[in-house]
Amino acid sequence: MPNRSVGTGRPDDGTGVREPAWTQEQAIAFGCARDYLAELQVVYATAIDRIQSRSDVPREDIVLLEAELSKLRMRRERLTVSAEAEVAEIRETFGEKISAARSRWLNER
C-alpha cells in the first residue's frame, strides 16, 4: 500500500499545496492506540458499574478502577500523532492489559 499523507498540514511555499500533517501509517497507529485506550476505559467503566452496588466488593477495588479510568481518559486526551514512541508502546502492551483486565474485572465477578 502506498504511503499516502493524510491530515492538513502547513502550506509549504505559498502555492496552496499543504505539507502533510502525518503519514497514513502514523494516522492508523494513532487510531489503534486511541482505540486500545478506549477499550480499556470501557472494561473499567463496565466493571465499576457492575460492582459498585455490591456490598461484598472492597471499596478499594472501586477506587482503584476509578483512578485507572481517570488516568486512561487523560492519557487518551493528551495522546498525539507525533508521540510515536507512546503510540508504539500502547499498541505493543495494551492488548495484553485489556485481556487481563477483562479476565480480572468482568469474568470473575
- Per-residue pLDDT band for 80 (boundaries 50, 70, 90) equals very high
Q: Which amino acid is at 80?
A: T
C-alpha cell at 106: 468482568
Q: In whole angstroms, what is the distance from residue 103 CA to residue 7 CA?
A: 38
Domain of 60 in residue numbering reads as 24-107
Please, what is the end-to-end C-alpha distance for the chain in angstroms? 44
Q: Tell me if 17 is assigned to some domain.
A: no
Q: Compute the average pLDDT of residues 17-25.
A: 78
What is the value of pTM for the model shown? 0.78
Cα separation, 72 vs 55, whole angstroms: 26
Number of domains composing the chain: 1
- Residue 16 within any structural domain of the chain: no
The reply to whether 12 falls in a domain is: no
Domain for residue 14, yes or no?
Answer: no
Whether 81 is in a domain gets the answer yes
Asked, for residue 79, whether it belongs to a domain, the answer is yes
Residue 61 lies in a domain: yes
Report the C-alpha gap between 101 and 105 in whole angstroms.
6
Q: Is residue 100 part of a domain?
A: yes
